[in-house]
Amino acid sequence: MAPRVLSMFDRNGDGVIARDEFIAGIRDLVLGDVRHKLWFAFRLHDHDGDGFIDETEMLRMISLAIAESELTERATQPAELLTRVLFKNADRNG
Q: Is residue 44 a contact partner of residue 8, using CB atoms and an 8 Å limit?
A: yes
Q: Is residue 82 a contact partner of residue 62, using CB atoms and an 8 Å limit?
A: yes
Would you call 11 helix, strand, or coil by DSSP?
A: coil
List, for residues 66-75, the tens digit of each pLDDT value.
888 776 666 6
Mean pLDDT of 28-44: 88
Categorise residue 51: left if φ over 0, alpha if ψ from -120 to 50, beta otherwise. Answer: left
Confidence (pLDDT) at 1 = 44
Task: Classify residue 55 by its DSSP letter.
Answer: H
The C-alpha atoms of residue 69 and residue 43 are separated, in whole angstroms, by 22
Mean pLDDT of 74-93: 84
Least confident stretch, 35-39, 73-77, 80-84: 73-77
List, for residues 23-32, the tens digit of each pLDDT value.
998 998 899 8
